[in-house]
Structure 1
């Protein structure tokens, strides 16, 4: 579902940085935290398990910074133009996809050379992107135009552009096995379901206020939704298309990531930091105060390191053992 687990270049060498405000279930080690100065207004983050590199988009500079967690620093800056606002990694082809709303495009970037391979038309205002490596497809949604683009990752062209059933879409996640895409609609407080086999939207699920970030646990089909207008995380049964539970958080959340192996969910819905949710039990299992304004969240499927952007200060915080 996520492509082959290829060898990594090394383990993270992280420096503890006194994480304050920790409330967590018993663990073998305290969380280890380090901060990498990136700069700019960070709008998206993604981990590439093929190379071990991390990508952080800067929407103001029109660039993507490449972080080497082993070295704990930025090793390259890719100038892509526009205002990149969404990132996704194709682990099979070793490519990074970046949504660029001003151009209505998605950039395909080679994960080895960091060369831009193609600029794909993805519909006006395309702002978020997800990839299905097995199907060799990518999906981009637009909040401004309310469209859902299906992109061919072999020919690097647009295959289909569907109108969304609701005014605008903010986030997208794909259940690769069940061939469904889930799109958040903040204006209507709902998640819209697209049947990828049929090529059309087939359902809608009412969730919390202002849903934005979304992630899918591939094995169970459970969908986790970060609601930016209310202090809870919505848990949706993707198979039946119903909200089955909500988890109270310390603050509103806008980003969510799930570790596939453990169904551990991480979100920026903690006060000045992270919240951790047991996805199977549907309960809050830990909070970690980082003293930052938490933005986008990503998790490394191999090491379980969690990455959190701070858009106000241009930093990426790396958290391990949490």
Structure 2
């Protein structure tokens, strides 16, 4: 993208009722969007071709985050300290106990998948631990812990972990369990996403109303000011950056100019955000409404 005129504008085209207090979202690239409903211990599965809920799945206590392995299934990090494993038929096949205590607050438990390494990583911020799950095992098995929400670089197999108590992002090498790089960002970093093609990491800093843009080639950081506390971040293949906010808005950031290109009102207490590649729609979980907003390109 060369300037803000190239950022694809979005508008709300639908509102989907889901469960109570939806917070986490993930798209599987196969016309399904998974929504964690932390208020009623369920996951809603949205058919993105019709934008309707096709199934509701009972999982663990207070599910917060969801990540998808295209080969081995869907992983849900529950606030109660367990990981629910959902197969490709959208049935829970295993619950993995991690020994972590119940999460004391929202957004303290995250899960990401490294498909190429056949592993999932679940972060439990309250106890400073990362659970390692071997996804190729039948059934998937807990493989141990790394003592420390994160995003994963699928080629380098590095975890980028937000550390809100320290206002930093750390890059973790899971094979050795070490943090070789720690990068100062804004206050209370929460959501995080990686742009592989452009060698950037985007971090939502809920305490400073900024989004930090980390250049992974040189380690430089640029902050983008936003108008409300940001919660989560997602990207589309064009490089447009989507940031959800607690005031019920979605900000679109131009990756070329590091500036806000547009702000769209979605629902109440916007939380997780995900991009679905087949429909080219953006989905935003509205925690206070019990809904998911669907946004489409304004010219589509």
Give the structure-2-normalised TM-score.
Answer: 0.88
Secondary structure of the structure 2 residue equivalent to 1:154: coil
1:304 is the counterpart of 2:280: yes
Give the one of 50, 53, 66 matched to 1:87. 66
- Return the match for 2:260 from 280, 284, 293: 284
The answer to whether residue 171 in structure 2 is matched with residue 193 in structure 1 is yes
Aligned with residue 137 of structure 1, among 104, 107, 119: 119
Deviation at 1:222, TM superposition (A): 0.9
2:19 alignment partner in structure 1: 39
The residue number in structure 2 matching 1:295 is 271
Cα distance between partner residues in 2 of 1:140 and 1:119: 13
Change beyond 3 A, Cα 1:37–1:84 = same
Structure 1 residue 122, shift from structure 2 partner: 3.6
CA distance in 2, matches of 1:73, 1:96: 19
Equivalence for 1:320: 296
Distance 2:166 2:238 in 1: 31
- Rate the CA distance shift 1:62–1:153 in 2: closer, same or farther, 3 A: same
- Structure 2: distance between partners of 1:198 and 1:212: 24
CA shift digits 1:164-216 (9 cap, x unpaired): 0xxxxxx1100111221011111111112101343322221110011000001
- Who is 1:18 aligned against? none
Counterpart Cα distance in 2 of 1:265 and 1:203? 24
Deviation string 1:279-316 (CA, Å, 9 cap, x unpaired) is 24322222212353311111113433111111111010
Q: How many residues align?
A: 287
Distance 1:321 1:148, change over 3 A: same
Asked if 2 retains the 8 angstrom alpha-carbon contact of 1:123 and 1:161, the reply is: no
2:246 pairs with 1:246: no
**2:139 aligned with 1:162, yes or no?**
no
Unaligned regions of 5+ residues in structure 1, if any?
Answer: 1-23, 165-170
Distance 2:226 2:254 in 1: 13
69-78 vs 171-180, which moves further: 69-78
The 3 A distance-change label for structure 1 pair 106 and 230 is same
**Residue segments in structure 2 that go unaligned for 5+ positions in a row:** 104-108
Task: Determine helix, strand or coil for the equivalent of 1:135.
Answer: coil
Partner secondary structure for residue 39 of structure 1: coil
CA contact (8 A) 2:271 2:286 kept: yes
Which residue in 2 is equivalent to 1:17? none
Distance 1:36 1:59, change over 3 A: same
1:178 alignment counterpart:
156
Q: Residue 134 of structure 1: SS of its match in structure 2?
A: coil
Distance (Å, rounded) in 1 between the aligned partners of 2:222 and 2:186: 11
CA root-mean-square deviation: 2.1
1:117 to 76, 88, 93: 93
Normalized per residue, the structure richer in strand is 2
With 261-270 and 146-155 compared, the bigger mean Cα shift is at 261-270
